[in-house]
Structure 1
């Protein structure tokens, strides 16, 4: 299939990695459905792209099962199939000791970072199995914290470890249906969430140090490359981060 025939859904596309990835896909002539809570921000993503005519904005709560079902239904009604789901939407909570972390905050992070990708993955797999030709690709936004935590990040780290399990299960069960699943673990991309580590990040020994920050365009181009691979090629997991980020040996 050529790029002009490929259809993607990108969650959390109102800013950061989601926005830049959607724009990069549109630049490669993908048809892209972008979703997030803020419609105006999605429209900004669309207008920033080189092919806004190939972009559809659908705003809503990605943790709401009814909305997600409607999102996929609208995408399929418009384009007839789906080739890529990028489970990107994610949040974190304040870095505090566990005794100061409320159950509400913990559950909010799990709902966005894990429950929403589960719902989206389920709907994508359902579509991948019935379309002709069958198959498709899912890319999950993991984190360095899917492997090693930062201090006081119980909710975020737990959610990203769980994404690894979701990725592996999807890859295992999807292979006979020509469905592949990738986890991309990103360190310190220059977004609202990641760039703050370039100012000062708490280390396990209590120090605050300035860490390297990665241009988000490198993340977007990596995702587009994986998305453009032939269906018989799978990248199960990939790590992208600044060379000087304290990751290997963190702790």
Structure 2
């Protein structure tokens, strides 16, 4: 896999889990990386672990569902780096475990804001920057989840937003054609993070049983992100599924 030749990347939710692993892999591949998240201390720790002198990393703590914060973040990227080559929309949240009639409005809006509104806002400002820069163009990778294809029981907010991300990905890819902006989706199944810890204990299945599910290393997801952006901008992978081989997905239900 080739090096980035000094590309600039922004990763949301980069303080832990998939986002941190992807940001580290991009740094290792030669990118300069903007670490975004809500907890500054976590971001600073993640950035300094791979880039102790701070020459190729930048930390910007803001909630991706905050329009003013997102606008300020992309303005800061433009000021420091002058361009953006890759956005990995990774930040998000879940509200699992409730039948749709038991989902509160507050939980619904929390997941919608994190997963869908946040992806939209970051895409909006990244697209504008990529469209205006010289040379024009870039790539946007959205964390879609396999729930964009097949839902789990009791996952209405998460599943609905991930289906929304799939639609946003396709629409962005179409809008980006005249400006050399490629947009794609990475559907991830059972990466080993804090959010998926319960999977190793037991998850409700479509047949009503509860079973533990295999998970995979976040490093494999990070490798997929680097690979997807290693392609020239005239080549795109509209969607790619990466999952723990033995998880109950193919044949789910």
Tell me the TM-score normalized by structure 1.
0.97
Task: Compute the RMSD of aligned alpha carbons.
Answer: 1.3
Correspondence list, 1:82-231, <5 A: 82-231=84-233
Write the distance in 2 (CA, Å) between the matches of 1:77 and 1:159.
32
Write the distance in 1 (CA, Å) between the matches of 2:247 and 2:3.
37
- Structure 1 residue 195 displacement after superposition: 3.5
Contact 2:86 2:139 in 1 (8 A): yes
Write the distance in 1 (CA, Å) between the matches of 2:6 and 2:100.
48
Contact 2:3 2:29 in 1 (8 A): no
- Structure 1 residue 176 displacement after superposition: 1.8
Write the distance in 1 (CA, Å) between the matches of 2:200 and 2:237.
29
- Structure 1 residue 9 displacement after superposition: 0.8
Contact 1:27 1:50 in 2 (8 A): no
Write the distance in 2 (CA, Å) between the matches of 1:42 and 1:162.
28
For residues 21-67 of structure 1, what are the alpha-carbon distances to aligned partners after superposition, in whole Å with 9 as ceiling and x for unaligned? Answer: 00110111101011111000001111221564311111111111000
Write the distance in 2 (CA, Å) between the matches of 1:134 and 1:219.
27
Q: Residue in 2 aligned with 1:23?
A: 24
Write the distance in 2 (CA, Å) between the matches of 1:221 and 1:50.
19
Write the distance in 1 (CA, Å) between the matches of 2:44 and 2:128.
28
- Structure 1 residue 2 displacement after superposition: 6.2
Q: Residue in 1 aligned with 2:78?
A: 76
Q: Residue in 2 aligned with 1:6?
A: 7
Tell me the TM-score normalized by structure 2.
0.96
Write the distance in 2 (CA, Å) between the matches of 1:147 and 1:3.
31
> In structure 2, do the counterparts of structure 1 residues 197 and 2 end up closer, same or farther at CA, with 3 Å as the change threshold?
closer
Write the distance in 2 (CA, Å) between the matches of 1:191 and 1:2.
27
SS in 2 for 1:151: coil
Runs of 4+ in 1 over 6 A off after TM superposition: none
Write the distance in 2 (CA, Å) between the matches of 1:12 and 1:216.
13
Contact 2:169 2:183 in 1 (8 A): yes
SS in 2 for 1:53: coil
Write the distance in 1 (CA, Å) between the matches of 2:176 and 2:96.
36
- Structure 1 residue 232 displacement after superposition: 1.1
